[in-house]
Amino acid sequence: MKHAFVPPADLEPLQRHPKAAAPGHHIDLHHSTCFGCGDDVPLGLHLKVIAGDGLTVSADMPVASWMQGGPGVIHGGVLSAAFDEVMGTSPLLIGSAVVTAHLEIDFAEPIPLGSTLHFDARILGRQRRKVYIASVAHIGDPERPVASAHSIFVTIDVKEHFAEHYDKRVIL
């Protein structure tokens, strides 16, 4: 797939954290009202991100009618949010909490409502606090990606980062 993103050549390789979710297990460390992964938001993506081998994760997402953008196909923003969630969860494999700093999506084919998107993502490496991650999605044929994404997530101290906004959180 075509993309313009070039990760730095000197990325520091990373190791899986000893307490990371085992391959095949759901990475479930976020919160129940998250748009991407929460069970308690009626119109959320409800993504279950599964740990893979090494520094990889995967997830499946049925493309529901409410996700429509162009007639009969997924909205690009919904697809972007799904990539964000899948890639943003992966640094838990290295024991890091992160927020998105930079997210690039390449849209290769229209993705029909009613299809199921399969996402694979892998951590490429770190440069200081920046974690570089790549992801690709298909709807049945792994040899024919329909979209891909590249991102930079920045590691944070969760309590410090969300301190100002924590009291305004929505609890359903």
Q: Which residues bind ligand MYA (CB under 6 A)?
A: 29-30, 36, 84-85, 88-89, 92, 97, 99-102, 128-130, 152, 154, 156, 158
Q: How far is the CB of 85 from ligand MYA (least distance, A)?
A: 5
**Taking the complex as a whole, how short is the minimal distance between the CB of residue 60 and ligand MYA, in angstroms?**
17
Residue 17 · residue 24 · CB < 8 Å:
no
Which residue is at the shortest CB distance from ligand MYA?
Answer: 88
Nearer to ligand MYA, 1 or 99 (CB): 99
How do the residues of the chain divide into helix, strand and coil, expressed in percent and rounded to 5? 15, 30, 50
Nearer to ligand MYA (CB atom), residue 26 or residue 102: 102
Decide if 153 contacts 99 (C-beta within 8 A). Answer: yes
Least spacing, CB of residue 56 vs ligand MYA, in Å: 16
Nearer to ligand MYA (CB atom), residue 58 or residue 89: 89
Q: CB-wise, 29 or 163, nearer to ligand MYA?
A: 29
**Long-range contact pairs involving 153-161 (C-beta distance under 8 Å, separation at least 24):** 153/87, 153/88, 153/91, 153/98, 153/99, 153/100, 153/101, 154/98, 154/99, 154/101, 154/129, 154/130, 155/91, 155/96, 155/97, 155/98, 155/129, 155/131, 156/97, 156/98, 156/99, 157/97, 158/97, 161/99
User: Coil, helix or strand for 55?
Assistant: coil
Q: How far is the CB of 53 from ligand MYA (least distance, A)?
A: 20
CB of 148 to ligand MYA, least distance (A): 17
Using the minimum distance from each CB to ligand MYA, give the nearer residue, 8 or 54. 8
